[in-house]
Amino acid sequence: MTQKPEKLIDKKGLRLDGRKPEDLRQIQIEVGILPNADGSAYIQQGKNKILAAVFGPREMHPKHLALPDRTVLRCRYHMAPFSVQERKSPAPSRRDVELSKVIREALEPSIFVDYYPRTGIDVFIEVLQADGGTRCASITAASVALADSGIPMRDLVTACAAGKADDTIVLDLNDTEDKKGNADVPVALMPNLNAITLLQMDGILTLEEFEKAVNLALKGCEKIYTLQKEALKAKYMNVKEVKE
Ligand code: ADP
């Protein structure tokens, strides 16, 4: 176990990893890395390493879960046993089940579900390494994987958290800040539609602090949105180059 650091913010106002309060971690997104999937994406956000794979729309199994007028979106968020320092049981934990649900609910509004009646879309999220904020990084990657699969979408969903470390509102908390900090506010956004699809809060904030955290998280989402679009473009630019 890591010892509780004396302070999460130093005298210069910098965080333990050297970031300013409004800085995101380093983010890299790659698209289409699993040929067996209909769409896939890999994200590294700081020390988080997460894979998202999309299958479908395809025939629904078990069949009785199919709906006559729309597709059914299913999400499975799973942390690998080696993704955290102490081995995590590979069986789905209560947290895995909760995160699978909130991730599905964050992604679903972006999909035209009535285009594919009686089918299912499966989204598998494998967290290979976790360092705080994995639900948001998972949403970001899964949305890119959905776009890569060619499913018609209203917009990409971009997610980012903000929270409170010591007395400062900070963007994109890492694991230490998440655990030792006072609050964490994950937000998911469809930036083009300006619609929030996930808003949670863990911890205690005043109303002013909450508003500041949400606004900071939304600014983070805007930056990540650009990276998502660049990652998608990069894949299709490569396809074009190969054909020429
Ligand atoms: P999020 O990853 O979305 O921030 P949580 O706030 O529940 O979700 O988790 C914060 C962090 O705690 C995770 O990103 C991960 O680094 C760590 N964590 C989660 N589950 C475990 C576990 N079973 N063992 C050790 N660390 C964990």
Question: pLDDT per residue over 219-237, tens digit each?
Answer: 999 999 999 999 999 998 8
What is the tens place of the pLDDT at every residue in 48-87? 999 999 999 999 999 999 999 999 999 999 999 999 999 9
Q: How far is the CA of 4 from the centre of ligand 1 (A)?
A: 16
Q: How far is the CA of 229 from the centre of ligand 1 (A)?
A: 27
Atom of ligand 1 nearest to the CA of 202: 6
Q: Which residue has the tokens 């010892």?
A: 3
What is the tens place of the pLDDT at every residue in 124-182? 999 999 999 999 999 999 999 999 999 999 999 999 999 999 999 999 999 999 999 99
Point out which residues pair with 199 in neighbouring strands: 187
Atom of ligand 1 nearest to the CA of 79: 20
- What is the distance between the alpha carbons of residues 73 and 119, in angstroms, rounded to a whole number? 9
Atom of ligand 1 nearest to the CA of 186: 3
* Helix (H), strand (E) at residue 171: strand 168-171
Q: How far is the CA of 65 from the centre of ligand 1 (A)?
A: 31
- What is the distance between the alpha carbons of residues 48 and 80, in angstroms, rounded to a whole number? 12
Q: How far is the CA of 118 from the centre of ligand 1 (A)?
A: 35
Pocket of ligand 1 (CB under 6 A): 84, 86, 88, 95, 130-135, 175, 178, 184
Q: How far is the CA of 176 from the centre of ligand 1 (A)?
A: 10
